[in-house]
Amino acid sequence: MRTETRGHRVTKGEGLSAAQREQLRRALETKKAQLLLACEEREEEVTGGEVDAGDEADVAEGVIEDRQRAALDEHDRALLGEIEHALARIDAGNYGVSEKSGRPIRFERLLAVPWARYDTDEAERAEHG
Report the percent of the chain where pLDDT is more than 90: 57
The residue ranges of every structural domain in the chain are: 2-119
Comparing CA positions, the residue from 91, 89, 84 lying closest to residue 105 is: 89
- Considering the segment(s) 2-119 as one domain, its CATH architecture is Up-down Bundle (1.20)
Residue 54 pLDDT grade (very low, low, confident, very high; cuts 50, 70, 90)? low
The mean of the pLDDT values for the chain is 84
117, 98 contact by CB (below 8 A): yes
| pLDDT tens, position by position, 17-41 | 999 999 999 999 999 999 999 999 8
Q: Per residue in 74-105, pLDDT tens?
A: 999 999 999 999 999 999 999 999 999 999 99
Task: Kindly give, in sequence order, each residue whose CB lies less than 8 Å from that of residue 114, ignoring residues fewer than 6 positions away.
Answer: 24, 27, 28, 31, 83, 86
Residue 14 pLDDT > 90: no
Nearest to 16 by CA among 83, 111, 87, 85: 111
Claim: this prediction has a pTM higher than 0.95: no
Judged against a pLDDT cut of 90, whether residue 50 lies above it is answered with: no
